[in-house]
Structure 1
């Protein structure tokens, strides 16, 4: 089975970008960084992840066949054994880090595009229900309250995609005129954000539905399935083998990304839904197409695959790693010994709240996150996944090709 090493590298780069998107603004010094606005387009990376998911799932589970490889039961066991351990372990890490700090798990920021964000604290019953929804990866169906682990909303969306994949993929892959269907999907995808913008639906519930609801984001996943069908029919071969066309595609992708980032950061309110949902879809699709044909030297293939396989783990653990590292940096910066902090814990925590870590530590955080995610993936998640697949599928559980299970941002 063909390996798309270029897509593995793309997955890794998108995961690192999303990590930066979620964390760099926690440093007050970020406002002085050049080109900081280019880090403000998390929706581009998340959408590309969803397209990649449809593409690679189609490659792994259909390829040149007309039927789902391994059957529906095998598909769901393999996908859920890949998704839930990542989610549950990263959620447990976040709970531990939060318990050791001051992060409240019942307090959420409700995002509004017109009136600014507001903070709400849930009652005991609401907080308990929200926690159960988070554990079950169903929290994304509530448009108001964000995930306890911010990254996991996209895992919840992926769970929905997995449910619909065996139903919709065969028909899409058999369809004639896939390029026309792709255009239809794009138009359908743009309708909700255009309507919401025209009606000025900018409140928290509308933002939650438009930007995170799995049904609203489904066209991206379906587009990835169609894109693989087009690739399978060699519709991109002439394009990818012509370097001038590839250069023009890269210029278009870069221009779209820069324009989207500028509009998201500096532009008016009205294009933001459209930028987030569908406005950049042609560039996202082109990016996947270009990366399917990226040639990686054989000596770098193994590390690229490892980095790609760690992409989901990077996204899942980057928040607890960030919280832990920020707390450690603050404690080290107050000028007190660890022994003093252990005996005067409350005073130490109070003093550390006013410390602002240096921006010079940020590259260290990114490196630590990547290395930790690789070990997290290979030493913890892979054994858990293998155990679950052996338990429910027996010896047929081993999968020869890794499947992306990417996660998003906003």
Structure 2
């Protein structure tokens, strides 16, 4: 199998009669860097070990906001024509999402059960594990980050997936101005609850929840994890996806957008500790993320750098990297006493990235195909698999 076949990020499921758009290669690769940012945030403590980059590395949680927005964008890019043509089907969409997410998620939860096996002596721990398996853990502050801490975001994504088929067409813009205003509106909506926290609980809004005794810390933590309050970031991505599909981005502007978004994001994150954590966590960077995403949709020197097949493979494996890195770090720390220094983080990342690629090729892709084949056998009129002739259209 050629590497280019392995790195095609598009789902093996498609809707007959609806052409599949080109693979946005750079947006696949950028996922790896976002996942790497989150991983380094978790693998090194204290952040002061990073020296002058301490503020930047202490803001690694921002990678999750980027994933939420990118998820909305990619799903819209992939499914907008299907729903506009009247061929969208909510159940088919959910099955495809389940096939994409759950095989590796289940493996991560089995690993979580092993790493945290001593925790099953209390009923609340068993309940927390069940909520993790059902991907509903983020609806309660008691279960949001229990067995596999990063997995709280998958609970949010599951909620986004439930809402997506019903709202995608409602967010379809009639003009470019309305599309931009829609993105801006979701940005402001996402910041509304954090703003309330800043006013009512200023101390807690600047701090990590763990160990915080500041008044309102639990409420601030809930604002950071509750799927309902995270969905504006996802729908900002949906609105951005509609903007790109309907109005496009000129190739001459795309590189400028990408560079502006990347430099702006890096500049803000370098001073991350000087901003309220609750704002950064809940979508403050949506405008800069929007520029970066749009800039990576068209061919330019930036996208050429990110379209290397191996980077795309890392991007495809980033989901596994995101799910496994925290558990692997806990296992190394608890079983072997490995510290959380920068050198140890680097060799742990080498191992975890290798495992992630193996999981992507050995579990994620085969698991997805098995689920889709099962579904096709029962609903041949609703879902076909890759391999049939596809027309490619340019945006």
TM band (smaller chain): 0.7 to 0.9
> Is the 2:112–2:327 Cα contact (8 Å) retained in structure 1?
yes
Deviation larger for 65-74 or 292-301: 292-301
Match of 2:327 among 307, 320, 323: 320
Distance in 1 separating the partners of 2:86 and 2:309: 28
Q: How far has the Cα of 1:56 moved from its partner?
A: 0.5
Counterpart in the other structure of 1:339: none
Aligned to 2:357: 374
User: Would the alpha carbon gap of residues 31 and 320 (structure 1) be closer, same or farther in structure 2, given more than 3 Å must change?
Assistant: same
CA contact (8 A) 1:12 1:307 kept: yes
The C-alpha deviation readout for 1:34-62, integer Å capped at 9, x for no partner, is: 41321111332111100100011111112
Q: Residue 214 of structure 1: which of 224, 227, 250 is its match?
A: 227
Q: Quick one: distance in 2 between partners of 1:219 and 1:95?
A: 32
Change (3 A) 1:63 1:309: farther
Distance 2:267 2:273 in 1: 11
Q: Does 1:66 align with 2:84?
A: yes
- Aligned-residue offset at 1:327: 5.4
Structure 1 residues 314 and 294: CA distance shift in structure 2, 3 A: farther
1:6 pairs, out of 26, 29, 40, with 26
1:227 aligns with 2:240: yes
Partner of 2:119: 105
Query: Take 1:216 and 1:298, find their aligned partners in 2: how far apart are those partners?
Result: 35
Cα drift, residue 248 of structure 1: 4.1
Q: Partners of 1:237 and 1:29 in 2: how far apart?
A: 40
Q: 1:119-147 CA deviation, whole Å, 9 max, x = no partner?
A: xxxx8332232222111111100023323
- The residue number in structure 1 matching 2:71 is 53
1:166-221 deviation digits (Å, cap 9, x = unpaired): 00111112454111122222222111111121112743431232101111011111
Pair 1:130–1:175, CA change in 2 (3 A): farther
Return 5+ residue gaps in structure 2 as ranges: 1-20, 205-215, 388-395
Match of 1:167 in 2: 166
Gaps of 5+ in 1: 107-122, 265-270, 331-352, 401-410
Question: 1:196 is matched with which residue?
Answer: 197
Q: Which residue of 2 aligns with 1:365?
A: 348
Cα distance, 1:301 vs. partner?
3.9
2:285 maps to 280
Among candidates 259, 263, 270, match of residue 258 of structure 1: 270
Question: Offset of 1:367 from its aligned partner?
Answer: 1.3
Q: Is the CA contact (8 Å cut-off) linking 2:82 and 2:88 kept in structure 1? A: no
Q: CA deviation at 1:155?
A: 0.6
Moved more, 59-68 or 136-145: 59-68
**Matched positions, count:** 346
Alpha-carbon distance in 2 for matches of 1:298, 1:81: 30
With over 3 angstroms needed to count, the CA separation of the structure-2 counterparts of 1:154 and 1:291, relative to structure 1, is: same
Structure 1 or 2, whichever has the larger Rg, is: 1
Q: Are the aligned partners of 2:187 and 2:283 in contact in 1 as well (CA < 8 Å)?
A: yes
Selected match of 1:393 from 373, 376, 387: 376
TM-score by length of 2: 0.79
Provide the C-alpha distance between the structure 1 equivalents of 2:196 and 2:25, rounded to a whole number of angstroms.
39
**Higher mean C-alpha displacement, 375-384 vs 273-282:** 273-282
Once residues 69 and 340 of structure 2 are traced to their aligned partners in structure 1, the CA distance between those partners, rounded to angstroms, is 37
Asked if structure 2 preserves the Cα contact closer than 8 Å seen for 1:81 and 1:388, the reply is yes
Cα offset for 1:389? 1.5
Equivalent of 1:237, from 233, 250, 253?
A: 250
Is the CA contact (8 Å cut-off) linking 1:193 and 1:273 kept in structure 2?
yes
Alpha-carbon spacing, 1:390–1:278, altered in 2? closer, same or farther (3 Å):
same
Describe the superposition over 1:59-92 as per-residue Cα deviations: whole angstroms up to 9, x where unpaired: 1112476146552221111101222222211010
Q: How does 1:15-30 map to 2 (within 5 A)?
A: 15-25=35-45
**Contact 1:209/1:216 (<8 A) preserved:** no
User: What's the counterpart of residue 205 of structure 1?
Assistant: 218
Distance 1:299 1:221 in 2: 23
Distance 1:68 1:11 in 2: 31
Q: CA RMSD in A?
A: 2.7
